[in-house]
């Protein structure tokens, strides 16, 4: 569903991505893990067609992000790091606009809005101005925006940031519920986050993939933390090869 | 089409929910009212004085030379132009700069809409908001039509000219707003640009030849004058349509190129 190979992105002299390669299969929920500044947001922005890469290829739902960006956008739900909210609109107005912008028309739009309001727990605030909502609710509106048109692929950049533990638990359940019907790639720098919601973790460090590990009973919890720390401690892994398969074996074994 | 419609609706909502549009509309009505009052008042005083003079000279023909069109309406339209130069930057400053600041550009630019559709939707929404200023002008002209008997032709061309000016200046303001993240920068840059277009032909009188023609060709008031006096040339229409096209093209290019940074 998502295929990325050899992605390179430079901001001036600084290389943010130096050859990122990974795959996400249909129906998977994959965590994109890494310390701040590792290149998570840049990768997600390229996948969402907001930015373009300098080298390498990326395909979402079978479409190239450069050559067929409109086809990618039609199949994509995207929550950026900063939720893109119209603060002076009500939740319902905003979600209606997002649905219309993605081509959900007429009656289907009303159903889609009500269903996503329900799923994201927005019913009590649906008529309120987004600017007056708490950070937790805003984050949920951002999530609702990414889901309102039932996209095949959902990309979430730090979806639970700024939420209280109770809300985090709800959002995690919501994201887990997307498995199967949607393909989800979410970024996070919080380990338990990924361990609890995802079936696989891709660790990115200094613009490269440092590890790619399935999450099962063994890797969840302490195992994943070790993997993460080992993968992101650059001195311990001096030469990270470009292909993701090799470090995976190295780290897991 | 429905996507453009969605963009227009959102733009209108954003503008009408914010106080800026209301403040600008009110300021326009207030200042236009002041100009209107002073022009009409001056005219009334002149008519009164001239009437006395005409009676003294026993010659009513002198009064015929006092023309409501030339003395009030042409002046009024020129004043409206000045107001638009000052007020439209305040209406357009927000349009794309604020999207960038709030991060909503990331929503717009990852949605299945082309830069062309995005520009069309946002521009038409903007235009509806600044178009209200033309309605304000219609209001004062209607008062003149009700109490006086001015020629209809120059009024029609004047209003058409105002509509063209509003369309062109809104496009330029929108274009400037796509180039920055800051509303203040957008407003100041737009205003400077408008002011430059307004004063660009001031040195024209002391120059000659190509320089003079060039400066006059760029001038906003020079191209508006014909409209205000009911004497429209096609070159004036071309001027405003060119400004409009240049603005929209710049906006579209700026939005389309954002991906390729």
- List the structure tokens of A32: 């994109």
- pTM of the full predicted structure? 0.88
What residues 112-131 of chain B have any CB closer than 8 A to a CB of chain A?
Answer: 112-114
Distance from CA of B19 to the nearest CA of A (A): 11
Q: Which tens digits make up the pLDDT trace of B70-119?
A: 788 888 999 999 999 999 999 999 999 999 999 999 999 999 999 999 99
- List the structure tokens of B244: 């409009």
Q: Angle at which helices B115-147 and B2-17 pack, to 10 degrees?
A: 60
Provide mean pLDDT across the span A147-174.
Answer: 87
- List the structure tokens of A180: 């199967």
Subunit contact A84:B104, Cβ cutoff 8 A: yes
> What is the C-alpha separation between A220 and A249, in angstroms, rounded?
17
Distance from CA of A50 to the nearest CA of B (A): 6
Distance from CA of A213 to the nearest CA of B (A): 29
If you measure CA to CA, which chain B residue comes closest to A48?
B110
Q: Which element (helix H / strand E) includes A33?
A: strand A29-33
B21 — pLDDT class (breaks 50, 70, 90) = very high
Please give the backbone phi and psi of residue B43, each rounded to the nearest 5 degrees, phi first. Answer: -60, -45
Please choose, from the candidates A187, A178, A174, the residue with its C-alpha nearest in 3D space to the C-alpha of residue A32: A187
Question: A162: helix, coil or strand?
Answer: coil
Cβ-based contacts of A98 with chain B (< 8 Å)? 107, 111
Subunit contact B260:A52, Cβ cutoff 8 A: yes
What residues 64-123 of chain B have any CB closer than 8 A to a CB of chain A?
Answer: 102-114
Distance from CA of B196 to the nearest CA of A (A): 34
pLDDT number for residue A218: 56
pLDDT number for residue A234: 56
pLDDT number for residue A220: 57
Superfamily of structural domain A2-75+153-252? P-loop containing nucleotide triphosphate hydrolases (3.40.50.300)
pLDDT number for residue A37: 83
pLDDT number for residue B221: 93
Q: Where exactly does CATH 3.40.50.300 map onto chain A?
A: 2-75+153-252
Subunit contact A89:B13, Cβ cutoff 8 A: yes
pLDDT number for residue A244: 47
Minimal Cβ distance to B6: which of A70, A85, A100: A100
ipTM: 0.86
Write the CB contacts of B133 (distance below 8 Å, at least 6 apart in sequence): B24, B25, B28, B83, B84, B87, B88, B162, B166
Cα B11 to its chain centre, rounded Å, is 19
Subunit contact B102:A145, Cβ cutoff 8 A: no
Q: Which tens digits make up the pLDDT trace of A92-104?
A: 999 999 999 999 9
Please choose, from the candidates B83, B71, B33, B224, the residue with its C-alpha nearest in 3D space to the C-alpha of residue B151: B71
A196 — pLDDT class (breaks 50, 70, 90) = confident
Q: Angle at which helices B74-92 and B19-57 pack, to 10 degrees?
A: 170
Subunit contact A50:B259, Cβ cutoff 8 A: yes
Provide mean pLDDT across the span B203-223.
Answer: 88
Please check whether residue B234 touches A, CB under 8 A: no
Q: Which element (helix H / strand E) includes A29?
A: strand A29-33
Domain ranges of chain B: 2-260
Minimal Cβ distance to A100: which of B2, B18, B105: B2
Highest mean pLDDT among A182-196, B47-61, B192-206: B192-206
| Residue bearing the bigger pLDDT, B82 or A223 | B82
pLDDT number for residue B61: 76
Cβ-based contacts of B102 with chain A (< 8 Å)? 82, 84-87
Q: Which tens digits make up the pLDDT trace of B119-143?
A: 999 999 999 999 999 999 999 999 9
Which of A12, A44, A101, A161 best tests the B interface by mutation, with the highest count of B CBs <10 A?
Answer: A101
What residues 89-118 of chain A have any CB closer than 8 A to a CB of chain B?
Answer: 89, 93, 97-98, 100-103, 105
């Amino acid at each position: 569903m998502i295929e990325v190979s050899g992605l390179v992105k430079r901001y001036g002299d600084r290389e943010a991505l130096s050859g990122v390669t990974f795959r996400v299969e249909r129906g998977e929920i994959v965590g994109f893990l890494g310390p701040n500044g590792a290149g998570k947001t840049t990768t997600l922005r390229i996948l969402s067609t907001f930015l373009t890469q300098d080298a390498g290829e990326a395909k979402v739902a079978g479409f190239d992000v450069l050559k067929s960006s409109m086809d990618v956008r039609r199949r994509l739900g995207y929550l950026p790091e900063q939720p893109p909210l119209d603060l002076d609109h009500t939740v319902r107005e905003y979600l209606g606009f997002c649905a219309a912008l993605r081509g959900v028309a007429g009656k289907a739009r009303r159903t889609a809005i009500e269903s996503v309001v329900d799923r994201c727990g927005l019913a009590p605030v649906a008529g309120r101005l987004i600017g007056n909502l708490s950070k937790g609710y805003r984050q949920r509106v951002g999530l609702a925006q990414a889901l309102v048109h039932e996209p095949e692929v959902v990309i979430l950049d730090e979806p639970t940031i700024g939420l209280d533990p109770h809300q985090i638990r709800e959002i995690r359940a919501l994201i887990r519920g997307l498995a199967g019907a949607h393909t989800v790639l979410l970024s996070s720098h919080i380990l338990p986050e990924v361990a609890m919601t995802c079936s696989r973790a891709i660790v990115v460090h200094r613009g490269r993939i440092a590890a790619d590990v399935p999450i099962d009973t063994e890797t969840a919890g302490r195992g994943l933390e070790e993997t993460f720390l080992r993968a992101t401690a650059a001195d311990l892994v001096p030469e990270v090869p470009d292909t993701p398969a090799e470090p995976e074996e190295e780290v897991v074994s | 089409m429905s996507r453009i419609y969605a963009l227009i609706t959102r733009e209108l909502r954003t503008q009408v929910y914010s106080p800026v549009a209301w403040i600008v509309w009110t300021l326009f009505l207030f200042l236009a009212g002041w100009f209107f009052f002073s022009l009409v008042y001056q005219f009334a005083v002149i008519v009164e004085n001239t009437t006395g003079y005409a009676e003294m000279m026993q010659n009513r023909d002198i009064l015929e030379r006092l023309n409501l069109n030339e003395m009030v309406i042409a002046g009024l339209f020129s004043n409206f132009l000045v107001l638009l130069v000052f007020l439209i930057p305040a209406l357009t400053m927000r349009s794309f700069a604020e999207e960038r600041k709030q991060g909503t550009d990331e929503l717009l630019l990852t949605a299945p809409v082309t830069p062309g559709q995005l520009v069309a939707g946002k521009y038409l929404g903007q235009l509806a908001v600044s178009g209200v200023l033309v309605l304000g002008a219609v209001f004062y002209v209607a008062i003149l039509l009700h109490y006086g008997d001015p020629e209809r032709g120059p009024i029609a061309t004047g209003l058409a000219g105002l509509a063209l000016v509003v369309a062109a200046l809104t496009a330029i303001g929108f274009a400037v707003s796509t180039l920055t993240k800051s509303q203040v920068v957008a407003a100041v840059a737009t205003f400077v640009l408008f002011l430059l277009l307004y004063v660009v032909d001031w040195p024209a009188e002391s120059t000659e030849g190509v320089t003079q023609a060039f400066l006059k060709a760029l001038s906003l008031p020079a191209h508006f004058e014909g409209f205000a006096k009911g004497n429209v040339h096609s070159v004036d229409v071309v001027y405003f349509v060119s400004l409009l096209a240049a603005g929209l093209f710049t906006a579209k290019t700026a939005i389309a190129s954002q991906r390729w940074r």
